[in-house]
Amino acid sequence: MGLVCGLGDIAHAQKSVPQMLEDFKQHPAIRPLISGGKLLEYSAHMVPEGGLAMVPQLVNDGVMIVGDAAGFCLNLGFTVRGMDLAIASAQAAATTVIAAKERADFSASSLAQYKRELEQSCVMRDMQHFRKIPALMENPRLFSQYPRMVADIMNDMFTIDGKPSAANQPVRKMIMGHAKKIGLINLLKDGIKGATAL
């Protein structure tokens, strides 16, 4: 079980992270799923989510930076990728070390092969492809208003309780009613930003 929090959000929260986790575990939808479970391990990890803009200088004399230390992490909203990028960057580093050892040259110019290896791998291709995602993910509407809007639309469409329902009106009209709560301009701006980020 995990909890993902942005550092900025933690700084402004009214609760500590351990309390947030406890509250999550006590939620009526979660508590039955973990009832009788035993805590085996407790850990925390900071995940860099700055994307391509956060990637530092990757090589220097005798040094290569890999994995999340290099900023190779992508929060795509529906998943946080990092393990695959860490493995691929470690493979690129290993290939570079083998070649550098054969040349007996561990200078920054020799280790620059690492950057070329990364460019040919999924690491830099994906970091480049998703470079606009970090700015998109900073939009609080993605995690509050939009999920609420979708849930309300689904509720209106599929609730059958014997009363006149919103489902009796055209779907377009029902969706527009919920969309107006967020604001059509906000929806348009966020939609364009999302489409260009992907």
How does pLDDT run across 50-70, given as a tens digit for each residue?
899 999 999 999 999 999 999
Confidence of residue 173 (pLDDT cuts 50, 70, 90): confident
**Interval 77-96 mean pLDDT:** 94
Element (H, E) at 75: strand 74-75
Quote the pTM value.
0.75
Across the chain, what does the average pLDDT equal? 91
Contact 177, 167 (CB under 8 A): no
Distances from the Cα of 60 to the Cα of 88, 104, 105, angstroms? 20, 15, 12
Res. 167: pLDDT tops 60: no
CA R_g for the chain: 23
Q: Rounded to whole angstroms, how far apart are CA atoms 79 and 74? A: 8
Structure tokens at 154: 């689904």
Q: Rounded to whole angstroms, how far apart are CA atoms 34 and 1? A: 9
- Angle formed by the axes of helices 83-103 and 113-120, nearest 10°: 140
For residue 6, the model assigns a pLDDT of 80
Res. 37: pLDDT tops 90: yes
Res. 166: pLDDT tops 60: no
Burial status of residue 180 (CB atoms within 10 A of its CB: 0-12, 13-18, 19 or more): exposed
For residue 156, the model assigns a pLDDT of 85
Structure tokens at 91: 């493979």
Residue 181's contacts (CB-CB under 8 Å, 6 or more residues apart) are 145, 149
**Interval 149-177 mean pLDDT:** 81
Structure tokens at 6: 């942005």
Q: Give the residue from 114, 27, 122 showing the smallest Cα distance to 1.
A: 27
For residue 165, the model assigns a pLDDT of 63
Res. 110: pLDDT tops 60: yes
Between 182 and 77, residue with greater pLDDT: 182
Confidence of residue 116 (pLDDT cuts 50, 70, 90): very high
For residue 157, the model assigns a pLDDT of 83
